[in-house]
Amino acid sequence: MREFTTPLKPKRNDGAVSQKLNTNNDVQSGYPMGFTLIEVILYVGIVVGMLGSSFVVMNNILIAQERNTINAEVFDNANFVMRKIVWALDDISIINQPSANTTSTTLSVNKASSTENPYVFDLASNTIRLSTGGGSATALTTGKVIVDSVSFRHVDPAFGPSSVQISIAISNAPQTGLTTYNASTTLETSIFLAN
């Protein structure tokens, strides 16, 4: 009897090996692994652009924060001084200075129900100060602001109530930092006095 034998085919792993090589380094398909010089330049440009934009945004945020802080300092000082003067003019019995129908940088008043008379507001070394009962003066403004001007006008008409016109101009003191931003404010008011 005749036996039929089929020739054995040799096992080849060449295809699997070459397929594996093609996935790691796809040179045969025309797409080499890695970046070209153009791609590197493009990606570096994108990263630099994003970092530069981030720097500009952060710088603007810091400058805005510093400006807000300076504005708040100036406006808070002006508001505090004005409120303190209005408080002193409440329930006064006499205006010592300025005299009737004159203007001065000093305001001196006596309150009717106080034992610490007189209350004196004055301008010294670009600072508004308050002294009570003839004692030493205390600064009402901080060192972060400069009082550019202050004026008190005692208006005493022939008919009607007398009043005190107040004008205060305050700006920020020179600073060092991200920017040299200048803030200033001027507050003006008239307080009519009960007779």
Q: Tokens in use for 161?
A: 């109530």
Partnered with residue 109 across adjacent β-strands are 95, 119
Which has the higher per-residue pLDDT, 178 or 62?
62
Each domain of the chain, given as residue ranges in start order, spans 43-192
Positive or negative, the Cα torsion across 87, 88, 89, 91? positive
Give the tens place of pLDDT for each residue, 83-95. Answer: 999 999 988 889 9
pLDDT over 90, % of the chain: 61
